[in-house]
């Protein structure tokens, strides 16, 4: 359903700061795949997500979604197909707008915005129902400004917003990294719940190898702008953290363990 073909992306090309972020990247995902992505700092994970989302254009290669070539489509046009949750909890919501206004904006993802009223009465009931699923008590605070919520609440809300209109592909970029362990676990749980319930196709970057192993049906490891290890199904289920570390060393000749990798 989504296909990245031989993608190259270099930042600051032709300057001393030149940085090859993606280096002949190939990835194919099938409908219903839930892929977890791991890799060291600067491996190109976020860049890959941004290339899919259209935030960055590529130098060469193509992005295909459901047989349509979307390589040249700007981000706001691709938004129709994609739900996104960012690492920074501030980035996914508008702080000055209320919870229901944020949801109403998300409800219209990919639709032409008209001069109709921005939120309908009938929507509120639906939002309340969805918010209840989060179990954070947000269903009684529809009029609250999002800026007053905690990081975890905002992230859970962003997740809900990203999936309010069922996306063809859900993109999660370390969306729990900025949260405390307890909140992170909760948001991860909600993530699994939503993906399962709505049968979403999802791509989730994480620094937590345990989560990467536990969640999803497929795992890819990135290094130097390409995928160096790709495993799914039964084989993935049998995988251990130790296996991952070894795979990484063999494929890259490097140590994967760094301060941000959670080994345990």
Ligand X SMILES: Nc1ncnc2c1ncn2[C@@H]1O[C@H](COP(=O)(O)OP(=O)(O)OP(=O)(O)O)[C@@H](O)[C@H]1O
Contact residues for ligand X, defined by CB under 6 A: 11-12, 19, 21, 39, 41-47
Residue whose entry in the numeric block shows the structure tokens 């959670």: 262
Instruction: Indicate the residue among 131 and 212 with the shorter CB distance to other proteins.
Output: 131
Query: Considering only residues 204-243, where is the footprint of other proteins by CB under 8 A?
Result: none
How would you class 192 by CB atoms within 10 Å of its CB: exposed for 0-12, middle for 13-18, buried for 19 or more? middle
> Going by C-beta distance under 8 Å and a sequence separation of 6 or more, which residues neighbour residue 115?
none
Nearest CA to 156 among 183, 124, 123? 183
Instruction: Indicate the residue among 39 and 89 with the shorter CB distance to ligand X.
Output: 39
Indicate which single residue of 15, 17, 114, 122 sits in contact with other proteins (rule: CB under 8 A).
114
Closest distance of CB 17 from ligand X, Å: 7
How would you class 79 by CB atoms within 10 Å of its CB: exposed for 0-12, middle for 13-18, buried for 19 or more? middle
Closest distance of CB 77 from other proteins, Å: 7
Indicate which single residue of 36, 93, 153, 183 sits in contact with other proteins (rule: CB under 8 A).
93
Residue 117 interacting partner from other proteins, ligand X, Mg ion, none (CB closer than 5 to 8 Å by kind): other proteins
- Residue 80 binds other proteins (CB under 8 A): yes
Instruction: Indicate the residue among 20 and 108 with the shorter CB distance to other proteins.
Output: 108
Sign (positive/negative) of CA torsion 209, 212, 215, 221?
negative
Helix (H, G, I), strand (E, B) or coil at 98: strand
How far, in whole angstroms, is CA 21 from its chain's centroid? 18
Binding region for other proteins (CB under 8 A): 53, 74-77, 79-80, 82, 84, 86, 90-97, 101, 104-106, 108-111, 113-119, 145, 147-148, 161
């Amino acid at each position: 359903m989504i296909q990245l073909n031989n993608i190259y992306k270099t930042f600051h090309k032709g300057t001393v700061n030149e940085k090859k972020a993606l280096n002949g990247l190939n990835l194919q995902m099938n409908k219903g795949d839930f892929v977890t992505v791991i890799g060291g700092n600067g491996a190109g994970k976020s860049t890959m997500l941004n290339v899919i989302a259209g935030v960055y254009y590529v130098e060469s290669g193509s992005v295909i979604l459901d047989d349509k070539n979307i390589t040249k489509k700007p981000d706001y046009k691709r938004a129709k197909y994609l739900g996104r949750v960012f690492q920074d909890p501030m980035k996914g919501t508008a702080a000055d707008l209320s919870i229901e206004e944020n949801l109403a904006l998300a409800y219209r993802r990919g639709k032409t915005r008209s001069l109709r009223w921005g939120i309908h009465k009938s929507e509120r009931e639906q939002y309340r129902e969805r918010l209840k699923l989060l179990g954070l008590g947000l269903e009684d605070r529809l009029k609250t400004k999002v800026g007053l919520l905690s990081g975890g609440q905002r992230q859970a809300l962003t997740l809900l917003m990203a999936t309010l209109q069922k996306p063809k592909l859900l993109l999660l970029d370390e969306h729990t990294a900025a949260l405390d362990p307890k909140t992170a676990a909760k948001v991860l749980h909600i993530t699994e719940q939503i993906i399962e319930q709505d049968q979403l196709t999802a791509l989730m970057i994480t620094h937590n190898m345990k989560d990467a192993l536990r969640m999803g049906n497929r795992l890819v490891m990135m290094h130097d702008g390409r995928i160096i290890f790709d495993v799914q199904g039964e084989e993935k289920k049998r995988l251990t953290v130790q296996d991952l570390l070894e795979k990484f060393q063999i494929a890259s000749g490097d140590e994967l363990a760094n301060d941000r990798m959670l080994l345990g």
